[in-house]
Chains A and B, each alone.
Chain A
Amino acid sequence: MNPRHDVDPHEGQGTAHEPTPTIWPVGFAVGIACIFVGLIISKIVLVVGVVLTAIFGFLWIRDATRPFRGEEAPAEPEPSRALPPGTPAARTSGPDPGQGEIVRFPRSKFLEATTLGLGGLIGVIVTAPVLGFTVLPPFIKQGHPKIDVGAIEDFPENKFVIATYLLKPEDGEVSRRTAYIRNNGFLDESPSFTILSNRCVHLGCPVQVNGLPLDDEAKTEKTAGDNVVTRIPTAAAAGFGCPCHGGQYDTEGNRTAGPPVRALDRYQFEIVDGRLLLGQTFSVSDVDGTGAEAKIHTYRLAGPGQHVDGPEGWLYPVQPPR
């Protein structure tokens, strides 16, 4: 009787006739792969491939031909299964499936854990970049190019001008935005502007001027950075109204009626060489006073419908970077 049968009754009968397990073919395959890659890319890789193929090929052949050469195949290392040969229980009990089960248990446990682990690893490898790809963009700071919307003289004092421009000219019309710009004249010798965004702070609809756009006096100008800016002066602008859900704003952008949760967003601006450049937008809870003397309560830019102050503001503690 083959002693192996005492150890493990479940082992197949034909074990001795099958080729013994060996890992040399893996190296052999790597060598072949190196040869193919080397043929295309570089001679060094080719040489390495040839060497690897030769070494592992030799080892594999030596392994495979061992039975024919009359050598004993090395026993499989199975520390968890092999009972100490001298254990009387093992000899006397003979084939005992129950005991075999118990002994096999750790290994199947190990396989379960490994399979689940490897599956999880595949999941992570696949989903991490995918999730990053889809979820990450909003967390990247988008930056704000300075936009030249015209010379200061193009903005008559105390009148709103509807200025449409491209936020990112390279993106095309999808980045077209509108700002309502009012020249407040000079405050302590520096020019003052009120620049309101036309996105309603209720849910982002395009706010309209409650006044008369003087379409005849519209001007289109190509400004710096391939931007195409259109300026339409208005007359008698008494405020702004949202066409969606009835929000109304006064000329400072303060809410006067309807659901808007704060005042209209505003733009930072700077004057360079007599030209008006729009900068970043920011949110405003409300504005006291008017024109150049207005006191503006500013906040970081928040999305429409999101309170920036008061208890409701606590609902939006963190804003994505803009």
Chain B
Amino acid sequence: MNRRLEERRAYHARYKQTVKTRGKPFFPYAMFHDTVMSLLVVCLIVALAVIWKYTANEGTGEHDSGWLGKLYDEKADPGTTNFVPRPDWYFYFLFYLLRIFKWPDSVILGTVGIPTVALLLLLALPFIDIGRERRPMRRPVAMTAAVLTIITMGVLTYKGATAKEPLAAENLVLVPKWAAKQGFAGNQTAVDGAKIFAQVGCMNCHTYLGAGTSNLGAPDLSKIGKTSNRGVAGFATYVSDPSKFGNNVMPQFKDLGADNLRKLGTFLQSSGTCSPKTDTCPAAGGQ
């Protein structure tokens, strides 16, 4: 123990001696590098600000986002019912960490447990890694830990950036894409129906063009108009009470009302029957 301390002291004494005899003055040698780097940093900050400003539109909508995001979001609304909060990019890892712990009993691990332990480990690093060796290649444990940390942070950040929720607000964004892909963009009733489809929880069990989650054996509905072909009214009747058709798994959607059911039916009938090239659908009504 004592020997180690003496070794370290001797090392530092040698360090001081070497620097004194063979070092170079900070100014201008080292400071030159520092100044160049600082200039780069300032230029980078200004460049980011300029790119941010000139690629974004002055607005708060989805399409106003430039390369570096919007100039401003909408004003805070503490009573919102359709906003999907996402943190800034450097908190994505924490954001995804919270999503990992999806069991109520483990919530505290994600919120305070792991961050606290990580911080304490970071603070205590000089007392954990007490070896005198400084060359990276001869510190395999430390280097492995560092690489793992970086990979973990990278993966968490990536997963956080791409995380999606099967929620009305998130699904609604997809509706224009569906309309373009399925070719019912010109049919307003079908577009309205798609919005209803996106919002009322259909996608908690059904998938549609790769979105949504598959649960309870519910089929993919991307081509339902072609495969089932019940017609607008037929779909409306089916959805309003599936049990009449022998389907006791799917809930009733009578609540939507005749008008909304007709829109939903139009959307389902249009799925897979319209032509994306000509943007036309067969006459509503199906069979």
Chain B, Cβ-Cβ closest to A175:
B78
Query: Is B260 located at the chain interface by the 8 A CB criterion?
Result: yes
CB of B162 closer than 8 Å to a CB of A = no
Nearest to A166 among chain B residues (CB) is B79
**How far is the CB of B112 from the nearest CB of chain A, in Å?**
9
Complex CA distance for A305 and B109, rounded to whole angstroms? 11
Contact segment of B3-11, B23-31, B64-72, B251-259:
B251-259
Q: Which of B79-103 contact A (CB under 8 A)?
A: 79-85, 95, 98-99, 101-103
Q: Are B85 and A241 in contact (CB under 8 A)?
A: no
Contacts of B204 in A (CB 8 A): 210, 238
- Is B217 in contact with chain A by the CB < 8 A criterion? no
In the complex, what distance in Å separates the CA atom of A261 from the CA atom of B102?
Answer: 10
Given the interface pairs A178-B81, A241-B167, A243-B170, the reply to whether A211 lies near B107 with Cβ below 8 Å is no
B201 and A259 form a contact (CB under 8 A): no
Per the bound structure, the CA–CA distance linking A243 and B95 in Å amounts to: 12
B39 at the interface (CB under 8 A from A): no
Quick check: B77 and A202 within 8 Å, CB to CB? no
Most buried by A among B85, B107, B256: B107
Interface residues on B, range: 35 or more
> What per-residue 1/0 map shows which CB atoms of A13-49 lie under 8 Å from chain B?
0000000000000000000000000000000000000
Q: Which residues of B contact A310 (CB under 8 A)?
A: 105
Q: Which of B79, B84, B111 contacts A178 (CB 8 A)?
A: B79
User: Contact at B168–A259, with CB atoms within 8 Å?
Assistant: no
Contacts known (A212-B200, A261-B104); A164 close to B99, Cβ less than 8 A: no
What is the bound-complex CA distance between A268 and B85, given in angstroms? 28
Are B107 and A202 within 8 A (Cβ)?
yes
Q: Which of chain A's residues 200-258 have a Cβ closer than 8 Å to chain B?
A: 202-203, 205-206, 208-213, 232, 235-236, 238-239, 241-246, 255, 257-258
Min CB gap A148→B, angstroms:
16
Task: Give the complex CA separation of A245 and B165 in angstroms.
Answer: 8
CB-CB under 8 A for A245 and B102, given A176-B78, A212-B200, A315-B108: yes
B196 sits at the interface (CB 8 A): yes
Contact flags A143-165 to B (C-beta < 8 A → 1, else 0): 00000000000000001001011
Check A243–B201 contact: CB distance below 8 A.
no
**Is A192 among interface residues, defined by CB-CB distance under 8 A?**
no
A235's contact among B82, B84, B106, B200, by CB below 8 Å, is which?
B200
State whether A212 touches B167 (Cβ < 8 A).
Answer: no
User: A182 at interface (Cβ–Cβ under 8 A)?
Assistant: no
User: 0/1 per residue, A161-204, Cβ < 8 Å to B?
Assistant: 01011000000011111100000000000000000001000110
Inter-chain residue pair count (beta carbon < 8 A) = 117
CB pair B201 A210 closer than 8 Å? yes
Q: Which residues of B contact A288 (CB under 8 A)?
A: none
B51 on interface, CB distance cutoff 8 Å: no
- For residue B57, CB closer than 8 A to chain A, the reply is no
Evaluate contact between B167 and A208: CB separation under 8 angstroms. Answer: yes
A238 / chain B contacts, CB cutoff of 8 Å? 200-201, 204, 251
Task: Give the residue among B101, B167, B251 with the most A Cβ atoms within 10 A.
Answer: B167
CB distance from A150 to the nearest CB of B (A): 15
B101 close to A236 (CB less than 8 A):
no
Q: Mark B204-225, 1 if CB is under 8 A from A, else 0.
A: 1000000000000000000000
Asked if B200 contacts A203 (CB within 8 A), the reply is no
CB of B81 within 8 A of CB of A211, answer: no
User: Does B55 count as interface, using CB distance less than 8 angstroms?
Assistant: no
Neighbouring A residues of B80 by C-beta, 8 Å: 178, 206
B199 close to A (CB within 8 Å): yes
Could you say which of B77, B165, B251 contacts A243, with CB atoms under 8 Å apart?
Answer: B165
Q: Are A259 and B104 in contact (CB under 8 A)?
A: yes
* A255 to B256 alpha-carbon distance, docked (Å): 25
Task: Find chain A residues with CB under 8 A from B103 CB.
Answer: 259
Cβ-defined contact, B253 with A236, below 8 A: yes
Q: Which of B77, B102, B105, B111 contacts A246 (CB 8 A)?
A: B102
**How far does the alpha carbon of A303 sit from the alpha carbon of B204 in the complex, in Å?**
28
Say yes or no: is A96 at the interface (Cβ < 8 Å to chain B): no
21 pairs from A and B in contact (CB 8 Å cutoff): A159-B255, A164-B79, A175-B78, A178-B79, A178-B80, A198-B79, A202-B107, A208-B81, A208-B167, A211-B200, A211-B201, A213-B81, A232-B81, A236-B200, A242-B165, A243-B85, A243-B170, A244-B85, A258-B102, A259-B99, A260-B104
Measuring CB to CB, which residues of chain A are less than 8 angstroms from any residue of chain B? 159, 162, 164-165, 173-178, 198, 202-203, 205-206, 208-213, 232, 235-236, 238-239, 241-246, 255, 257-262, 305, 307, 310, 312, 315
Q: A173-B77, A208-B81, A245-B98 are in contact. List 18 more A-B contacts (CB 8 A).
A: A178-B80, A203-B111, A205-B85, A206-B83, A210-B200, A210-B204, A213-B81, A235-B256, A236-B253, A238-B200, A243-B169, A244-B85, A245-B95, A257-B102, A259-B98, A259-B99, A259-B102, A259-B104
